[in-house]
Every structure is written in C-alpha cells, then in structure tokens.
Amino acid sequence: MSAQHSAAAVSGELLAQATAWRHDLHRHPELAYGEHRTAEFIARQLTQFGLQVHRGLGGTGVVGTIRRGTGRRSIGIRADMDALPIQETSGVEHASSASGVMHACGHDGHTTMALAAAALCAQLPGLDGTVHFIFQPAEENEGGGRRMVEDGLFKLFPCERIYALHNWPALPAGACVALDGAMMAALDTFEIIVRGRGCHGAMPHEGVDPILAAAQLVSALQSIVSRNVDPLQSAVVSVTQIQAGDTWNVIPDSCQIRGSTRWYEAAVGNRIAERIPHLARSLAEALDCSADIHYEKRFPATINEPSAARLVRDVAAGIGMPVMDAHPSMASEDFAYMLQAVPGCYLWLGAAREGENPGLHSPRYDFNDAVLSRGIQLWVALVQSCLSRP
C-alpha cells in the first residue's frame, strides 16, 4: 500500500464512542430476525454520519451507502447483528440484560466496527466510488444472508467485491487470516425416522425393533467419511440427536436420528447427500424396518476469491497487522450466500485474550474490545485501497 492509502487514524474519541456502542449492543442482544432495536440504532447512526440508509431487506437488514465521484467502483462491507439463545455468565459490567439471550459470537463487535468505519469513511477525502455497509440479520442458523440476497441486495446495491470479518478468539489479538479459496465449510442437516413395530420389551420377536436398526445406522454413517470420501478431502458427518421410546419395557414404533454434515467441495457434499439416504434405507430394510429421510441443504461453503483475499492480506500488512496462515474451519457461515452472488473475501480478525479466553458460543465469551480499532482501521484502509482516486 502506498503512503496515500494509509488508514485514517481511529481517534481516542471515536474508539471510546465505539466501545460504548459495543457495550450497549451487548447489553441488548436480539435473536435472528428480531434485531429491531439493533437495526434502529444502526440506521440512526448511519443517518447521522450522512449515509443514505435503506431498511427492511431480509426483514431487519440495514444498508448504508456512501457515493463519491463517478461512483463506478463499488464494494460492500457486511456485518452481522444477531445474538444467540444462551444465558450469559461472563460477569462483565455490560452483560446481557435479556434472559437467555447473549452476544456470544461477537456480532456486537462486528456491527460496531462496521459502524465506526462508516463514520470514518463518510469523512474521507479523495474517494471515487461507492461503498455499501451491509448489516444483516440472522447469521446464526437462520440464513439472514440468503434472505437479503433473495430480497435483491445486490440488485439494489451492486458491489464488485464484498467483504466480511469474524473475530477469532483462537488467533492472536489483531492478527489477520484471509485464505485463498475455502475459509468455512458447507453445512447440511438430516433427519431420519427409522420405523419398526412396537411391542413388549420381553417379546421382541413379536415386533420390529427400530432402535437396533438406528444403532447400526449411526455406526454405518461413520463409514461415509472413512470409506466414501477421498482421504485428501475434508468432511464431517455427525449424529447429534437420537430419540426413541418412553419406558423400560416397551420397544417403540420408531426412532429419530438427527445430525449435520460439513465439507468444502461440492462433489464431496453430493456424495454424502447420496450415501446417507442409501445407508438409511438399506440398513432399515435389512432389519425389517423402513426409513423416512429428510436431508436439507443449508449453507454453502464460504469460498474466498483469491484476488480479494490477497488484497485483504496486503491491506492488513500495510496497517501493521500480522498476516497469518491457518487451516480453514469446519464451522459454517451464511456470508457464503453473499460470496456465491458476488466475489469477495471473508477474513478472521484474531481476538485472543490474555488468561482465560472463552471461545465463540461460550456463555463466558465477551467480544475483545482491544481489537476494535484494528477492525475499524482494516475496513477504512480497504475502502481507501479500493476506492481512492488514482
């Protein structure tokens, strides 16, 4: 990065304000598609900074736009707004005031960094182009990113490139990881109902035991990754729920199995999606049962466009952030839907704390405020790098 692209400084005043916003958002967490107070706050701030504000995409989504000069170049910066159904035990002074709901994934921090970056970008001289700050609902499980895309996000707000970050407590505070290609895995879920015929537990020969078939199926499902997937590819098949029966001495009619699968390559995902119903049907049949299978495609893999990832690494290094290498994660992220529509990059911002360092989705987690200024600087430097007048 040249000197003229050096990031606008995050003043002590802005940082204090951003920290106050973060704590306020943390105190008032809202679940998927219920982010009304959060969206209201974001829209009010963006309006104050002088951005054009659009509301309602994907329900509670908010988009704030800065247009300068001829406006031909355009980028999007996305932050997620939702919290999780977890009872907070962090003990921090700004802990959640909502029972059973908390910002355990740091989306309060993501929203804050994008807001503060928008405030700084609105004041930047020398820009020529458009930047859209996109605040999405329902990242956790509910596909708010997909809903915004389906509601016409990129038709209303065309972006040549789209960027998002996630704080990452497993990485050193202030470090940046932006991989070429896969960053987060795809996710599908499945539900299998194995049906037999209930009977007395003492007379199993008078019925058909679905629990025995389900138990064998759970074991057999583990053959998919070990026997059907190329050992040099990555995949996970996890059975996470199994439910049947009500008492000691009755063989039930049916047994329900639920779980999820993860992978990066579509061919691997297709193979898993084909093997699970096949195993379920044939094993059930071998034991005189039947199987109803519901297999659901959920999130695609989060795949970075290499040139966008390279730009993020260059910009991060240019503002003095350590740029690290890492394995992609087998967790999933609904920014994947936006990356399917528009090329771009999803990056991790290292957020480790000294001493106890609770992970994402822990009831003791709290976003690390020490990395706020890094995230803000990174977004501003990226906007400058993409949209500065030559």
Residues found near Zn ion in the complex (CB under 5 A): 105
Give min distance, CB of 193 to Zn ion, in A.
Answer: 29
End-to-end Cα, the chain, rounded Å: 13
Looking at the Cβ atoms of 65 and 136, the one nearer to Zn ion is 136
Q: What is the rounded distance in angstroms from the CA atom of residue 386 to the CA atom of residue 304?
A: 17
Q: What is the rounded distance in angstroms from the CA atom of residue 203 to the CA atom of residue 136?
A: 56
Looking at the Cβ atoms of 103 and 275, the one nearer to Zn ion is 103
Buried b (16+ CB within 10 A) or exposed e, 60-74: bbbbbbbebeeeebb
Give min distance, CB of 59 to Zn ion, in A.
Answer: 18
Closest to 39 measured CA to CA, from 17, 59, 15, 16 = 59
Helices (H), the chain: 12-27, 36-49, 107-121, 144-150, 153-156, 210-223, 266-286, 306-318, 335-341, 372-387
Q: Which residues touch 265 (CB under 8 Å, ≥6 apart)?
A: 233, 301
The helix or strand, by DSSP H or E, that contains position 134, with its residue range, turns out to be: strand 129-136
Looking at the Cβ atoms of 105 and 193, the one nearer to Zn ion is 105
Looking at the Cβ atoms of 5 and 107, the one nearer to Zn ion is 107
Orientation angle between helical segments 372-387 and 306-318, nearest 10 degrees: 120
185 contacts 237 by C-beta, under 8 angstroms: no
Structure tokens at 119: 């405030």
Give min distance, CB of 360 to Zn ion, in A.
Answer: 5
Looking at the Cβ atoms of 229 and 351, the one nearer to Zn ion is 351
Q: What is the rounded distance in angstroms from the CA atom of residue 183 to the CA atom of residue 349?
A: 13
Looking at the Cβ atoms of 49 and 335, the one nearer to Zn ion is 335
For β-strands 62-68 and 186-195, DSSP reports them as: unpaired
Radius of gyration of the chain (CA): 24
CB atoms within 10 A of CB 343: 16
Give min distance, CB of 366 to Zn ion, in A.
Answer: 14
101 contacts 361 by C-beta, under 8 angstroms: no
Give min distance, CB of 326 to Zn ion, in A.
Answer: 17
Beta bridge partners of 161: 75
Give min distance, CB of 107 to Zn ion, in A.
Answer: 6
Q: What is the rounded distance in angstroms from the CA atom of residue 103 to the CA atom of residue 108?
A: 6
| Backbone phi, psi, residue 254, to 5° | -150, 165
Give min distance, CB of 10 to Zn ion, in A.
Answer: 23
Q: Which residue is nearest to Zn ion (CB)?
A: 105
Give min distance, CB of 359 to Zn ion, in A.
Answer: 10
Looking at the Cβ atoms of 139 and 209, the one nearer to Zn ion is 139
Give min distance, CB of 315 to Zn ion, in A.
Answer: 22
Give min distance, CB of 141 to Zn ion, in A.
Answer: 9
CB atoms within 10 A of CB 87: 12
Looking at the Cβ atoms of 49 and 163, the one nearer to Zn ion is 163
Q: What is the rounded distance in angstroms from the CA atom of residue 303 to the CA atom of residue 336?
A: 7
Looking at the Cβ atoms of 49 and 348, the one nearer to Zn ion is 348
Looking at the Cβ atoms of 83 and 217, the one nearer to Zn ion is 83
3-state secondary structure of 76: strand
Looking at the Cβ atoms of 111 and 234, the one nearer to Zn ion is 111
